[in-house]
Each structure stands twice: as C-alpha cells, then as structure tokens.
Amino acid sequence: MEPGVSQSHEQPERISDAEHAVMEVLWERSPLTAAEVCEQVCEPRGWSLATVKTLLSRLVAKQALATEPDGKRFLYSPRVARDSYVGSESRRLVDRLFGGRAAPLFAHLAESDALTEDDIAEIEALLKELKS
C-alpha cells in the first residue's frame, strides 16, 4: 500500500466516472502532477489540461486525493486505496439495486449472459474458499 493511502472504511464523497478515470491513473502510479495525469487521460478522452485540473480539484475537495506542493505545481496522491474504494462502491451497488443481497446480482448477470465460463469458475472457486 502507498504511504498516506488510507485502508479505512471511511470513503470520500461519491466520485463521477470522469473523476474515477483520474483516480485510476493515480492508483497506478503516484504522486503525479496534473500534466502527468493529463498525459494518461487527455488524448483518449478528448480532455484538456484544464479539465484534468478541474477533476483533480474536485477530488481534493471530496478528500479522495491529497496534494503536496512541488515548486509552482502540485503533486497528487490517492487518500484511499483502490481496493477499499471498489469494495465500498460494490456494496453501494448491491444495496441500491439488489436490496443488499448479492445473490440477485449474480442471478441478473447470469440471466443476461454477462458471465463467461471463466467468470463462473472463479465465482465457484471463491465460494468454495469462503465455505472452508
């Protein structure tokens, strides 16, 4: 785990899909400047550096990112670990759409052909591991 990254269950405010793209870059490598984040996300998404700076500011305000001055620029680092964030978002999804129960989620995925044979095998292995 990166220094300064919290594993606590206290999560930042909900983040948007665009903010999530920025977080993924910073979870992969940090600290980074706004320009370095832009190198990763601007071209594929058609964003400008100003867009990235806006998203970074929002994420700092939501306490998802920490900043550190580095001369005239800032370095950005995640304040929450990716696995912790994914866990809380997964819980929110299950709570909101499936009444807090995971079984209906899996049933929905199976019925909509969203699960591959490999996915099913991984789920079965995980269930066996959880039972033991």
Can you give the pLDDT at residue 98? 87
> To the nearest whole percent, how much of the chain has pLDDT over 90?
52
Evaluate whether residue 7 is within a structural domain: no
Is 112 a residue whose pLDDT tops 70? yes
How many domains are there within the chain?
2
Same domain, 76 and 88: no
> To the nearest whole percent, how much of the chain has pLDDT over 70?
91
Same domain, 30 and 68: yes
Is 71 a residue whose pLDDT tops 70? yes
Evaluate whether residue 11 is within a structural domain: no
Can you give the pLDDT at residue 7? 44
pLDDT, mean over the chain: 88
Running DSSP on this structure, what letter comes out for residue 13?
S
Instruction: Please state the rounded mean pLDDT for residues 71-82.
Output: 95
Can you give the pLDDT at residue 92? 86
Instruction: Please state the rounded mean pLDDT for residues 112-118.
Output: 86
Among candidate residues 34, 92, 40, the one with its CA nearest the CA of residue 59: 34
Same domain, 94 and 72: no
Q: What is the pLDDT of residues 5-44, one digit of tens each?
A: 544 445 557 889 999 999 999 999 999 999 999 999 999 9
Q: Which two tokens stand for residue 9?
A: 């269950």
Evaluate whether residue 97 is within a structural domain: yes
Same domain, 39 and 65: yes
Same domain, 67 and 120: no
Can you give the pLDDT at residue 11? 57
Phi, psi of 74 (to 5 degrees): -120, 150
Query: What is the spatial distance between Cα 109 and Cα 121, in angstroms, rounded to a whole number?
Result: 14
Evaluate whether residue 87 is within a structural domain: yes
